[in-house]
Amino acid sequence: MADLLSIGASAANTFKNAIDVTSHNVANVSTEGYSRQRAEISSNSTNALTTAFNGGGSTVDSVERIYASYIQTQLVNSYSLKSRYDEQLSLAQQVEGVIASNDEGVQDFMQRIFDSFQNLADNPTSSTTRQVVLDESENLESLMGNMVNVLDETNDQVNKQLSNTVNEVNTRLEAIHKINEQVANLINTNAQPPNDLLDQRDQAILELSQYMDIKTYTQDDGKINVSTGDGRLPLISDNTLTKLDAGLSEYTHDNRFEVYMNINGERRVISDNINGGELGAVLDFRENMLDKSMNELGVVLNGMTASVNWQHYQGYDENGDAGGNIYAPLDTNALASSKNTGTEDGTNILVNFTPDIATLPGYNGQPPYNPGTQPATYGDKEAFLDTAFTAIGDFKAREYEVRVNGAGDFDVYDANDVGSGPLATVPFGTNTEIDGLNFDFSGVGAGTVTEGDKFIVKPHQAILDDFETVLNDSSQLATRGQSPVDTGGAGLDDEVPAPAAEGDNVNIANMASLQGKNLLYSDVTGTPSETLLGGYSMMATNVGTYVSSTEIQATAQSNVYDQMVSRRESLSGVNLDEEAANLLRFQQAYQASAQILQTAQSIFQTLMNAIG
């Protein structure tokens, strides 16, 4: 009787627990990240009889969480990539129309300037046509001002997004760390795994992957370690939680946020360690679209400014004076790192466009367009123009990092490829040409820099801010060419340049012809490969390629993520039809268990009556 009663009781208890587990599944059918659970039922130990073994009923050994770690890992990774490319595409599409517009954009305004040059060449004495040249130049200046405002707003948006996303990362890290402690404590005191807590932790990890790429590793005590996607930097390690923070870069006045982490007591930039999630999207967008396109556009503007100015130097205006600057030449300075121990703030580290013409015949330390200081041996100004054009062809769409070395000299690097070594080493107090630009350290005071001091300079982004039409009198447009005068018996060694006759259009025609001249991106032989407008088209093409490739990746990663969601749901998701069938089966088993108990009670009562 006791055996029958205990078997019935164990069966009733078993199927009551099974019904509870099934009901829990149904209740969480819409819970994000929930993994269905299953009661693992086994038979109790048997009792030996004279001729056989009598069963001992059943029990629920454990409640199993239907889960596959490899599917969860793939889900996390695919979600991180999906989030990255979705966000990256959104950012890229916002900016594409601003910097690479085919309608009323930079290219159109540059074309108008060259058209105005050609119109003036066709009618060099027209004051109205002269004024159009300045008007079109000022229109481009206005357009650049509006574009820079939008780009500044975009940079502010990037900074804000980095800050907000880092806060989201820290919130998820705190949640994972807290659940880690709860899981470890429960596993230590109870053999049954805390299934719901494990689901909550997995969901927090999945949410974390929306914001950055991560790697995870589960310890023997049930805690899970989390690191950056490259596995190099621990975010959660055992009991230690390391949060991220976002803030301005180390370079003073550089309105640019970076992602930081405290490593061995030092606040370090870890932006390069993040490649996935929304953080990865923002960082990739900034480096590979925003910065790159701004630098490429800057090369075009610097190329136009320098080539037009230097061609303008070759001619003479209505008053017979040599041409000067139409546009403000590049003249910018470096930004100092806040970690520097020296006092130099970067304002004495200058980068400008001053081609190396000191060795040319007749050069006496003066600009070639200053006739008052040109010596009689000066000769043809075209020699200077060729040197300038060679320098323009050497422009590179990049930023530069300057470091003070152990000898107190300046190592100049590609800021995005410091590991490849310096592009040049410039002795203290001197200047040199790098990538067609003059890096001038002559103004740096003795004792104001120390070894390890760093600076950054962005010459091709600077021109976007500083582009300006500085010639405001149309009569000073140097439309006329030069007509060398042979001084012969005057004791001079060479011909002296003089303005051509009034109405001459040689120089303005040469300025118009710059549109079709390859000036940019010289190859290894020193031959320029792109026109100014071609350089802009190349930039626009690169922007379009970035957007289209991001769109392709966004679609592909969305499909991969959907597949992983389906795989997880097919394994771990709650199927209401299946749960309804289980409920019916367990209910019937529970009712049968109750019948066993009633049978045991009836037999017991019969025995009692017989004894009585």
Which positions ≥6 away from 218 have C-beta within 8 Å? 69, 224, 225
Q: Are 23 and 150 found together in one domain?
A: no
- 437 belongs to a structural domain: no
- 261 belongs to a structural domain: no
- 436 belongs to a structural domain: no
What's the Rg (C-alpha) of the chain?
38
Q: Are 8 and 155 found together in one domain?
A: no
Q: Are 6 and 144 found together in one domain?
A: no
- 289 belongs to a structural domain: yes
- 89 belongs to a structural domain: yes
Please give the tally of structural domains in the chain. Answer: 2
- 522 belongs to a structural domain: yes
Q: Are 59 and 84 found together in one domain?
A: no
- 100 belongs to a structural domain: yes
Q: Are 44 and 127 found together in one domain?
A: no
Q: Are 11 and 159 found together in one domain?
A: no
Phi, psi of 33, deg, nearest 5? 80, 0
In whole angstroms, give the CA distance from residue 274 to residue 518. Answer: 39
Tens digits of residue pLDDT in 230-245: 999 999 998 899 999 9
Contact 41, 60 (CB under 8 A): yes
Q: Are 530 and 600 found together in one domain?
A: no
Question: DSSP letter at 433?
Answer: E
Q: Are 146 and 22 found together in one domain?
A: no
Q: Which residues pair with 217 in a beta bridge?
A: 225
In whole angstroms, give the CA distance from residue 204 to residue 212. Answer: 13
pLDDT at 381: 62
- 430 belongs to a structural domain: no
State pTM to two decimals.
0.89
Q: In what order do the strands lie in the sheet with 257-263?
A: 244-248, 257-263, 266-269
Tens digits of residue pLDDT in 521-554: 999 999 999 999 999 999 999 999 999 999 999 9
Tens digits of residue pLDDT in 326-344: 999 999 999 999 999 999 9
Which positions ≥6 away from 103 have C-beta within 8 Å? none
pLDDT band at residue 366 using 50, 70 and 90 as cut-offs: very low
Q: Are 374 and 517 found together in one domain?
A: yes
Nearest to 339 by CA among 270, 268, 408, 407: 268
Tens digits of residue pLDDT in 280-328: 999 999 999 999 999 999 999 999 999 999 999 888 999 888 888 999 9
Domain that holds residue 598: 2-66+574-611
- DSSP string covering 308-324: HHHHHHTSB-TTSPBP-
Does the pLDDT value for residue 520 go beyond 70?
yes
Residue 540 is which amino acid? Answer: A
Contact 529, 518 (CB under 8 A): yes
Helix (H) or strand (E) segment spanning residue 349: none
Q: Are 24 and 158 found together in one domain?
A: no
Q: Are 506 and 385 found together in one domain?
A: yes
What mean pLDDT comes out for the span 261-285? Answer: 96
Q: Are 33 and 156 found together in one domain?
A: no
Q: What torsion do the CA atoms of 456, 357, 471, 118 make, to the nearest 10 degrees?
A: -110
